[in-house]
Amino acid sequence: MFQGAVALSLDAKGRLAIPSRHREALAVQDGQVVITAHPHRCLLVYPVPAWIPIRDQVLAAPSFDHQAAMLKRLLIGYAQDEALDAAGRVLIAQSLRQFAQLEKQVWLVGQGSHFELWSDARWQEQQEKMLALATDGLPAGFESLAL
């Protein structure tokens, strides 16, 4: 399970060094990941076994439904197969870096089965929105959550 948020830096070639605590879990799956775009202008980083059922579900959506077709173009169209190198780094394709407006400073955010990868600026915006939940109330499905 991937959890926690960590600030990281992309190198000059657009590679991201995956934190060592997550490398072992990814190595069990041969270090293969799929990186794709998310509608919130961040990236999704999935181990291949976790991505396959999502990919299949997206591909099963009707192509003549306008919203489904747009989501397919985003999730499948941007999807890149990548592998961790010997140093535990993964290349983030230029097209994906541009989509998410990634610069040197980024945030890798665990989401259980996968990660989100955010630009520093967009992550700070998300932090403000998350803090607003305290005054705006919890979203549907979280009403009974007790912390």
The CATH number of whichever domain residue 103 belongs to comes to 3.40.1550.20
Whether 99 is covered by a domain: the verdict is yes
Whether 15 is covered by a domain: the verdict is yes
In angstroms, the Cα distances linking 31 to 22, 28, 101 are: 10, 7, 25
Whether 146 is covered by a domain: the verdict is no
Question: What confidence score (pLDDT) does residue 142 get?
Answer: 76
Domain span at residue 32 reads 5-136
pLDDT in tens, 111-145: 999 999 999 999 999 999 888 876 777 777 777 77
Whether 74 is covered by a domain: the verdict is yes
Pairwise CA distance, residues 101 & 94, whole Å: 10
Question: What confidence score (pLDDT) does residue 140 get?
Answer: 78
Q: C-alpha angle with apex 131: 128 to 20, nearest 5 degrees?
A: 80
Residue 63 has pLDDT above 90, yes or no: no
The reported pTM is 0.91
Pairwise CA distance, residues 100 & 117, whole Å: 8
